[in-house]
Structure 1
Amino acid sequence: MTTANSNYSIRDEIRDYWSDRAETFDQSVGHEIFSEAERQGWQRLIKKHLGEGDGRSALDLACGTAVISHLLHDVGFSVTGLDWSDAMLARARAKAQTRGADIRFIAGDAENTLEPPESYDAITNRHLVWTLVDPPAAFGEWFSLLKPGGKVLIVDGNMGKETWVKSLQKLWARVASKQASDPVSPDMVMRLQKIRERVYFSGEMPAQAVADLLAQAGFENIVIDRKLSDIHWAQARRMPFLRGLDRMVQERFAICATKPD
């Protein structure tokens, strides 16, 4: 990573960070799915807001190793996964080949996809919005990509809001070493923190703030869904106690919004 280069932007830094995370990305609970209970929870969430795929087109933005892409494929969508990390896409393509899933993968920026207007029935993303440099512009882009009546489904959380459990974790860290099973190194944690300080939602990201930006982009029927406990409980059961408890009390949400007909 060459930060001395004046052309090296925060967008480049985000891309390179996730490229470096690609090798261990699927080792983390909350990234890959490790139980049938969690898989069913995700599928319920998708069908609740987007319905059955029935061959409709879906664009999974910042698809990473294609966890959400496969969930969409499993419920019948014709899926395109977009990511601007070649390392992530390489793993996504290998996973799809292993599973025999017909998913199209393309390299691109989620804030400027270069995909044709009105070409998708649904757009999804997970833990992407907090990384956006310009969410208003990104939401305008997503609005243009959807067919009339199409929906965007965002899964994210107010990660900048510190829970009482996180405070307890920090206290515990002073007297105990970091969990050896955590695949994220202290250096990577520091890089992520520096990125967080420079993106649009550098502090808290409440669901209503995201919903307001979606409304400004032209979306209607905006629904904030906080009923994700089945997913989070399945994840928490596979985490160390304090981390799992934090997962259960964090302000996480899904937001579904519709492009008017």
Structure 2
Amino acid sequence: MSSSETRIKEMVAHKWDLASETFDTHVGHGIRSKKERDAWKRAFREVFPEKGLKILDVGCGTGELSLLFAEMGHKVTGIDISRKMLKTAESKAEACGAEITFREGDAENPPFMTPSFDIVFSRHLLWTLPDPKKAVENWNRVLRKNGKVVIIDGVWDRGTLGDRARRNIGAFLTLLLERKDPRKGHPGYSEELKSRLPHAGGAPLEKVKEYLAASGFEEVRTLNLKEVRQAQKENMPLGERIMRNYQYYLICGRK
């Protein structure tokens, strides 16, 4: 890895270290209700109905979905570039008695030498990566034959005036009605960092399909997460609802 690439990784890790303390308090990150938890489980069972799978959660953050997978009976390993995110994840797993392996690791190049996993899973990650195409290729590398990659992502900011207005109005309403800053816990990326990320505003679905095809994944399909989003909105103040009007998807493919 070049010194420039190392610097970018360090910048990304620092931003998510700062976000770790309040990350789970935000809708869409922490699971806020039993209804939302059940909706996630139904979505995942539709994609991989088998029991006892080995799942690699890349960019696992605070381990919210790692814990959910363990609850569903899977054997989970979570990696993240942020040490503080991992520390939170480990504390949560210990508190509920979940046997999950967490370790520091680069989601673009998971630290595993052989095909080891039935599922490689990522949520809200591709937009943070300098080389998402390389990441998808390496996820294929660590999957066993017939294993699946499962990606949840979206387009948070298309760079339009409409998107900017929506975010500003939503933030103002949250400050006014909820007396809290909706941006607290969301790392603000510098212009230097944004310039190195091909999807700084979010990873478009069609582009992710290209990455999967280029990496040799087959049987690519998408899943509607409408039930999950509806459950999330029930615990969402008005300002948050306005801000969360964007493309959001689950896509998966088989090796």
**What are the within-5 Å matches in structure 2 for residues 47-196 of structure 1?**
47-52=45-50, 54-161=51-158, 167-171=165-169, 180-182=179-181, 184-185=183-184, 190-191=188-189, 195-196=193-194
Q: Is the contact made by 1:122 and 1:146 (CA closer than 8 Å) also made in structure 2? A: yes
Secondary structure of 1:147's partner? strand
Equivalent residues, number: 251
Tell which deviates more after alignment, 159-168 or 39-48: 159-168
**What are the within-5 Å matches in structure 2 for residues 215-254 of structure 1?**
215-225=213-223, 227-247=224-244, 249-254=245-250
Match of 2:42 among 41, 44, 50: 44
Aligned equivalents of 2:202, 2:208: Cα separation in 1: 11
Q: In structure 2, do the counterparts of structure 1 residues 243 and 146 end up closer, same or farther at CA, with 3 Å as the change threshold? A: same
Q: Deviations over 1:211-251 (max 9, x none)?
A: 111110111111122x112111221222221321442x311
When the two structures are superposed, what TM-score results if normalisation uses the length of structure 1?
0.87
Q: How far did 1:166 drift?
A: 5.5
Q: How far did 1:194 drift?
A: 5.7
Q: Is the contact made by 2:56 and 2:120 (CA closer than 8 Å) also made in structure 1? A: yes
Q: In structure 2, do the counterparts of structure 1 residues 236 and 197 end up closer, same or farther at CA, with 3 Å as the change threshold? A: farther
Q: In structure 2, do the counterparts of structure 1 residues 78 and 7 end up closer, same or farther at CA, with 3 Å as the change threshold? A: closer
Aligned equivalents of 1:102, 1:144: Cα separation in 2: 25
Counterpart amino acid of residue 198 in structure 1: R
Aligned equivalents of 2:65, 2:209: Cα separation in 1: 21
Q: In structure 2, do the counterparts of structure 1 residues 203 and 195 end up closer, same or farther at CA, with 3 Å as the change threshold? A: same
Aligned equivalents of 1:147, 1:38: Cα separation in 2: 30
Q: Is the contact made by 2:153 and 2:202 (CA closer than 8 Å) also made in structure 1? A: no
Aligned equivalents of 1:204, 1:89: Cα separation in 2: 23
Q: In structure 2, do the counterparts of structure 1 residues 77 and 173 end up closer, same or farther at CA, with 3 Å as the change threshold? A: closer
Q: Is the contact made by 1:31 and 1:67 (CA closer than 8 Å) also made in structure 2? A: yes
Q: Deviations over 1:94-130 (max 9, x none)?
A: 1001001011111100011121221000011100011
Q: How far did 1:72 drift?
A: 1.0
Secondary structure of 1:202's partner? coil
Q: Is the contact made by 2:126 and 2:202 (CA closer than 8 Å) also made in structure 1? A: no
Q: Structure 2: which 5+ residue stretches go unaligned?
A: none
Secondary structure of 1:58's partner? strand
Q: Is the contact made by 1:197 and 1:203 (CA closer than 8 Å) also made in structure 2? A: no
Aligned equivalents of 1:37, 1:60: Cα separation in 2: 22
Q: In structure 2, do the counterparts of structure 1 residues 6 and 197 end up closer, same or farther at CA, with 3 Å as the change threshold? A: closer
When the two structures are superposed, what TM-score results if normalisation uses the length of structure 2?
0.88
Aligned equivalents of 1:197, 1:180: Cα separation in 2: 33
Counterpart amino acid of residue 143 in structure 1: N
Alignment identity in percent?
34
Tell which deviates more after alignment, 204-213 or 76-85: 204-213
Secondary structure of 2:30's partner? coil
Q: How far did 1:200 drift?
A: 1.7
Match of 1:255 among 248, 251, 254: 251
Aligned equivalents of 2:81, 2:9: Cα separation in 1: 10
Counterpart amino acid of residue 250 in structure 1: Y
Q: Deviations over 1:156-192 (max 9, x none)?
A: 1012235957624425767995753236349x65436
